[in-house]
C-alpha cells in the first residue's frame, strides 16, 4: 500500500493471545446478491445462460434480515479488541451497535465516538468503537473472483477495508501468511481506493499495489461500488465496477516469495484513525458507516486456473503473441498451454485472459466486427454468454463468436457474425 503504515493484519491486546490459533474472536455476517443477469436470446429464439453461470458461487452473503439483527454467525465471526500495530483509535466490539443488518439488504458497520464499556486501548481509554468481521474457521477461498459491493464512509480518519489473510497465519505468522487487500480507502482520499499484496519482504509500507481514482471528482462515499479481485495461480487482478486497474504476478516481487497459491479467509472492517489515515478531526461526522450490499466468491470448474477454449480444427482461442496491449487481435492457434490461451469465464459475464477482457472492437454489433483484447470496462462489448449448443454469444450484439472464412489456420482472426450453427462458431470451454 502507498503509506507508511504497517498492515492491519492483527489486533492488539485482547486478540494478540489468539495469534497462535490464527483466529480472532467471532461474529457473523451475510451479503445480498444482485439480480441475476437477464438470459439473452440468440437467433431462432434459443435461450442461452450467461457465461457467468459456468462458474460456481462458493460464498454468497445476502444481508436480508430484520433491521438491527446480527449477521450470520455460521458465516462470520466478530473480532474484539484494539489495534496497536496501526495505532488505530477504535475498539472493535461484538455488539449490534457496531455491526448489524439494516432491514434493507445491507450489513452496516458503524463507527461511533463513544465508549459504553470503558474499553481500554493502547493509548488509554478508547475514544471510538467499530467492528471487524472475518470468516476464519468458517470459509476460505483459493482462486476465483472475490468481490464486495459497498458504499464507504466519508471523513478524515475513516479507514474501511475488504481484505484477506492466508489461512496458515497461525502456523507461519504475518507477513509469511500473505495478505491480499481487495480494497482500502482512507478518508483524506475520497476519490481513490487501493489494492495491495503483502508478503515476506514486501509488507506494511513496502506492500506491492496500486490505486484507482474515480473520474470527475466523484467520491466513493457517494454511491455503491463493486470491488473485486480475479485470482489465479501466480496472477491477481484488481477491478472497480468491472474496470481493471492492476495485475500482479511473481514477476513483480523481485525474487521474493509469492505466497498466494493457498487458502485465504475474508475480512471486513472499518478502522478509525491510524498511521495511514491519520486521526479524525472536527470535520469528521459520527456515527459513520460502511454499508455492505454483498460479498461473493465465484470460482469456475477449474478454480482460478483458467481454461482453454477450442474451436474449429481443434485450435485454441489465442491472444496474438501473448501481447497484453489494448487492441491485440484474438485468433485461432495451435493449443500450447500458455497463458495467452487460458481463459476465465467471470461471474460478471466477461471472458478474460492475461488480466484483460475479450472485447468487440469499438463496441460494434455488425457482422464482421473483430474481437480483440481490451481493458475490462463493464460495457456490453465485453458481455458474453455460452449456450448448451456451444455458441459463445456477445449479448449486446446477439451475435456469435466466429472464426473468419470458416478457417482453422493459425492466425485466423475471430469476429462477431450472425449465429448460423457452423463449425466455425462452435466452441468448447475447458
At 131, list the grid cell. Answer: 467492528
The whole-angstrom separation of Cα 50 and Cα 296 is: 17
Under a CB-based contact definition with an 8 Å cutoff, are residues 86 and 6 in contact? yes
Longest Cα–Cα distance of the chain, Å, equals 75
Phi/psi of residue 80, nearest 5 degrees:
-125, 150
The whole-angstrom separation of Cα 220 and Cα 21 is: 36
Phi/psi of residue 252, nearest 5 degrees:
-80, -5
**Residue 184 a catalytic site member:** yes
Q: What is the DSSP string of 97-112?
A: TTEEE-SSS-EEEEEB
At 214, list the grid cell. Answer: 474515480
Which residue in 61, 88, 127, 179 is the catalytic one? Answer: 179
**Residue 179 a catalytic site member:** yes
What Cα–Cα distance (Å) separates residue 152 from each residue in 100, 165, 191, 220? 16, 21, 11, 6
At 264, list the grid cell. Answer: 485465504
Under a CB-based contact definition with an 8 Å cutoff, are residues 102 and 128 in contact? no
Does residue 15 come out as left (phi exceeding 0), alpha (psi in the -120 to 50 range) or beta? alpha
Alpha helices (H) along 219-372: none
At 170, list the grid cell. Answer: 497461525
Looking only at the bridges linking them, the beta strands covering 90-92 and 128-130 are: parallel
The whole-angstrom separation of Cα 330 and Cα 46 is: 26
What Cα–Cα distance (Å) separates residue 281 from each residue in 84, 158, 389, 394? 20, 10, 60, 50
Non-local (6+) Cβ contacts of 103 within 8 A are 65, 66, 67, 68
Q: Catalogue the active-site residues.
A: 179, 184
Amino acid at each position: 500500500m502507498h503509506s507508511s503504515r504497517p498492515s492491519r493484519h492483527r489486533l492488539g491486546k485482547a486478540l494478540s493471545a489468539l495469534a497462535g490459533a490464527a483466529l480472532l474472536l467471532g461474529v457473523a455476517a451475510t451479503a445480498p446478491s444482485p439480480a441475476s443477469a437477464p438470459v439473452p436470446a440468440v437467433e431462432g429464439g434459443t435461450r442461452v445462460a450467461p457465461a457467468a453461470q459456468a462458474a460456481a458461487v462458493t460464498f454468497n452473503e445476502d444481508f436480508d434480515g430484520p433491521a438491527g439483527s446480527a449477521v450470520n454467525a455460521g458465516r462470520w465471526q466478530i473480532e474484539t479488541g484494539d489495534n496497536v500495530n496501526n495505532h488505530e483509535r477504535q475498539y472493535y466490539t461484538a455488539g449490534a451497535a457496531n455491526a448489524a443488518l439494516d432491514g434493507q439488504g445491507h450489513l452496516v458497520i458503524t463507527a461511533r465516538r463513544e465508549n459504553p464499556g470503558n474499553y481500554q486501548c493502547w493509548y488509554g481509554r478508547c475514544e471510538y468503537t467499530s467492528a471487524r468481521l472475518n470468516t476464519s474457521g468458517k470459509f476460505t477461498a483459493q482462486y476465483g473472483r472475490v468481490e464486495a459491493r459497498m458504499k464507504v464512509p466519508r471523513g478524515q480518519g475513516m479507514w474501511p477495508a475488504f481484505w484477506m489473510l492466508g489461512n496458515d497465519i497461525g502456523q507461519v505468522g504475518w507477513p509469511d501468511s500473505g495478505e491480499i487487500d481487495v480494497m482500502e480507502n482512507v478518508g483524506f482520499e475520497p476519490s481513490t481506493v487501493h489494492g495491495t499484496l503483502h508478503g515476506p519482504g514486501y509488507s506494511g509500507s513496502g506492500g506491492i499495489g496500486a490505486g484507482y481514482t474515480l473520474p470527475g471528482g466523484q467520491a466513493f462515499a457517494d454511491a455503491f461500488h463493486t470491488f473485486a479481485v480475479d485470482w489465479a495461480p501466480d496472477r491477481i487482478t484488481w477491478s472497480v465496477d468491472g474496470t481493471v486497474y492492476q495485475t500482479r504476478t511473481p514477476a513483480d516481487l523481485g525474487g521474493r516469495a509469492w505466497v498466494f497459491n493457498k487458502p485465504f479467509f475474508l475480512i471486513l472492517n472499518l478502522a478509525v484513525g491510524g498511521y495511514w489515515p491519520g486521526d479524525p478531526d472536527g470535520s469528521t461526522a459520527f456515527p459513520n458507516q460502511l454499508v455492505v450490499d454483498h460479498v461473493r466468491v465465484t470460482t469456475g470448474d477449474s478454480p482460478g486456473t483458467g481454461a482453454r477454449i477450442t474451436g474449429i480444427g481443434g485450435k485454441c482461442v489465442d491472444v496474438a503473441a501473448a501481447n497484453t496491449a489494448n487492441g491485440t487481435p484474438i485468433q485461432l492457434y495451435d493449443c500450447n498451454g500458455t497463458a495467452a490461451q487460458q481463459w476465465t469465464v467471470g461471474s460478471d459475464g466477461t471472458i478474460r485472459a492475461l488480466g484483460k477482457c475479450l472485447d468487440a472492437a469499438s463496441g460494434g454489433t455488425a457482422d464482421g466486427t473483430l474481437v480483440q483484447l481490451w481493458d475490462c470496462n463493464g460495457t456490453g462489448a465485453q458481455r458474453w454468454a455460452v449456450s448448451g449448443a456451444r455458441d459463445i454469444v456477445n449479448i449486446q450484439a446477439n451475435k456469435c463468436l466466429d472464426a473468419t472464412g470458416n478457417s482453422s489456420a493459425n492466425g485466423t482472426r475471430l469476429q462477431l457474425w450472425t449465429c448460423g450453427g457452423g463449425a466455425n462458431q462452435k466452441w468448447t470451454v475447458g
